[in-house]
Amino acid sequence: MEGAGWKLKRARERLNLRYRDVEDASLRIAGRHNNAQFAIALSRLADIENKGILPTIYRLYSLCAIYRLDLMEVLEWYGIDLSGLPSDAASIEIECSHVIRFAPRGEIRLPVAVDSGIDLRKSTFLSHTIRRWGKLPASLLDSLDLKNHRYAFIGCEDWTMYPLIEPGSFVLIDENRRKIANSGWSSEFDRPIYFFEHRQGYACGWCTLAGSQLVLQPHPASHCLPQVFSYPAQIDVIGQVTGVAMRLGPGKRRRPRP
């Protein structure tokens, strides 16, 4: 905390701002937001800089605005690295399926040089063929057109689409594909899988729409029962599942038996 306070002090001094200047600026921000918590008194600013006192989120926002600092970087000064948010979230198992409301940040380790002699028609152990790994900014994922997509996590007790989608999997949802198709596929692998929101939470699975009734259909091997909803009064289609990332191997819990 003392190191973060020192960095904030250096940022203030580089702008030739006195304590009184910062207090006055924070009062203007508090006035703009009609919230006195954005204001920083002289004594509180001195404590933040010299005694390692932790600022509130409102005061930290004001300091970043006044000093022209990136809020995510300043959070790192205080030991909060937002790039770890996805991995921390993945370490906490939640039984029900749910939407993930944060986007990838920071850097991601990816193979940046792969043996050009790989035969993609055959199974390959990639660890032997990747020449070099490196860190790439998560912003490069913008090239995948994620603007129209959302992420979701399949609950660790949600066996609805097992074995096509394991509990604990991450799925990519295309929000532009919300129209329900009742036909047009030749196998279970071609049949569209949708992600839904209903009054009790979220669901992922096949479906059939008959008039105002939507039947949420699980995979037969899951031994889960179909569910019937009034559409669109009781259930909404968030989008179609277009990608999935899941562990291979048995889950931590056994799937339900008939």
Q: Give 188-202 pLDDT, tens digit per residue.
A: 999 999 999 998 889
CA 188/CA 170 separation, integer angstroms: 20
**3-state SS string for 160-198:** CCCCCCCCCCEEEEECCCCCCCCCCCCCCCCCCCEEEEE
* Per-chain mean pLDDT for the chain: 83
State the sign of the Cα–Cα–Cα–Cα dihedral 196, 197, 198, 200.
Answer: positive
CA proximity to 236, closest of 206, 194, 208: 194
Is pLDDT of 230 > 80?
Answer: yes
What are the residue boundaries of the structural domains of the chain, listed by start? 2-77, 147-245
Model pLDDT, residue 152: 85
For the segment 116-139, the average pLDDT, to the nearest whole number, is: 50
Helix axes 2-14, 57-67, angle to 10 degrees: 30
Query: Worst-scoring range by mean pLDDT, 30-39, 134-143, 148-157, 165-174?
Result: 134-143
What does CATH list as the number for 2-77? 1.10.260.40
Residue pLDDT, tens place only, 76-103: 999 998 878 877 887 888 888 887 777 6
Architecture of domain 147-245 in this structure: Ribbon (2.10)
- Looking at residue 245, what is its pLDDT? 78
Question: What does the pLDDT look like over 131-156, one tens digit per residue?
Answer: 555 555 555 455 455 556 778 888 88
Rounded to an integer, what distance in angstroms lies between the CA atom of residue 54 and that of residue 165? 44
Which of the two residues, 84 and 58, has the higher pLDDT score? 58
User: Average pLDDT, stretch 176-189?
Assistant: 91
User: Which of residues 235 and 150 earns the better pLDDT score?
Assistant: 235
Q: pLDDT > 70: what percent of the chain?
A: 77
Unique residue bearing structure tokens 């152990």: 125
State how far the Cα of 166 lies from the Cα of 23, in Å rounded to an integer: 54
Report residue 193 as tokens.
């899988």
DSSP element (H, E) containing 134:
strand 130-137
